[in-house]
Amino acid sequence: MTDDRSPLSRLSDQRVEYGARGEVAAGTDPFTFFSQWYAEAQAEIREPNAMLLATASDSGPDARIVLLKGVDPAGFTFFTNYTSAKGLQIAADARVALVLPWHDMHRQVRVQGIATRTSAAVSDEYFAARPRGAQVGARASHQSQPVDSRAAMHAAFDRVEAEFADAEVPRPEQWGGYTVAPHRIEFWQGQANRFHDRFVYESADRPAALDDAAAWTVARLDP
Ligand SMILES: Cc1cc2nc3c(=O)[nH]c(=O)nc-3n(C[C@H](O)[C@H](O)[C@H](O)COP(=O)(O)O)c2cc1C
Ligand SMILES: Cc1ncc(COP(=O)(O)O)c(CN)c1O
């Protein structure tokens, strides 16, 4: 049991009412819709590119936050370690889901699609643009593997620093991007009385270019 002073008590009393932003209409292609919403999120949300990435594989569902680093009509791109848990899960089953949780705007965007690795050239270009410390960290980390201690992590970091002391840090070959090509994308706007606006774009289960209006059907969903 939690006592009354615990932050975990009375969770059921916590209630935020939505609806101040007014109603939302569909009508444009999903790329235009997403671009408009992203621009608005950029102005209001602290880290609007933080998104949930859900994976599925034989070991069951899994989910974690990653950073959206690019969007174009082909899809949504993030970067990670290909030998991490998520990398192995995507290798086993490339179907993934993304959620952009823009709580403070009472909005979320949900994406279902297929993840494929970005080209080495795209991964190289993004890796080269990261701060040097993050490059060193990426080389020093076997992401998602057990490590003995913080000291062992620092020793691995220092070894990489020493190895490339006077040189650029090259992208490790197991680090790179994925682009999620969507076949379903839903825009959710919270409304009063939990009577929200939901618009879902679907492309017949096949990934389609987000700006190809003819490839998508749009439906309003009950909240
Ligand atoms: C705000 C935020 C952003 C993150 N961005 C990334 C990212 O872009 N790439 C990444 O590999 N991990 C990122 N992480 C760490 C992941 O959530 C996760 O801990 C890590 O990738 C290992 O996941 P896995 O074991 O499921 O592969 C981020 C975490 C947070 C909280
Ligand atoms: C382990 C890891 N890898 C990659 C990233 C992406 O960050 P960056 O903006 O440095 O590419 C993050 C962001 N939190 C991270 O935690």
Annotate 64-75 with DSSP letters as a single string.
EEEE--EEETTE
What domains are there in the chain, each with its CATH number? 20-131+174-220 (2.30.110.10)
- Bigger pLDDT: 21 vs 203: 203
User: Quick one: tokens of 129?
Assistant: 């643009």
Q: Is the CB of 79 under 6 A from ligand 2?
A: yes
Q: Which amino acid is at 97?
A: A
Distance 87 CA to ligand 1 centre (A): 11
Q: What is d(CA 32, CA 30) in angstroms, rounded to the nearest whole number?
A: 5
For residue 68, say whether it is annotated as part of any ligand binding site. yes
Q: What is the 3-state secondary structure (H, E, C) of 127-187?
A: HHHCCHHHHHHHHHCCCCCCCCCHHHHHHHHHHHHHHCCCCCCCCCCCEEEEEEEEEEEEE
The number of the ligand 2 atom at minimal distance from the alpha carbon of 81 is 3
Q: What is d(CA 145, CA 179) in angstroms, rounded to the nearest whole number?
A: 24
Of all protein residues, the one whose alpha carbon is nearest to atom 12 of ligand 1 is: 66
Q: Is the CB of 21 under 6 A from ligand 2?
A: no
List, for residues 101-116, the tens digit of each pLDDT value: 999 999 999 999 999 9
List, for residues 70-98, the tens digit of each pLDDT value: 999 999 999 999 999 999 999 999 999 99
State ipTM: 0.98
Distance 141 CA to ligand 2 centre (A): 12
List, for residues 3-26, the tens digit of each pLDDT value: 677 888 889 888 999 988 888 888
The number of the ligand 2 atom at minimal distance from the alpha carbon of 65 is 14
Distance 34 CA to ligand 2 centre (A): 23
Task: Please say whether the beta carbons of 65 and 53 come within 8 A.
Answer: yes
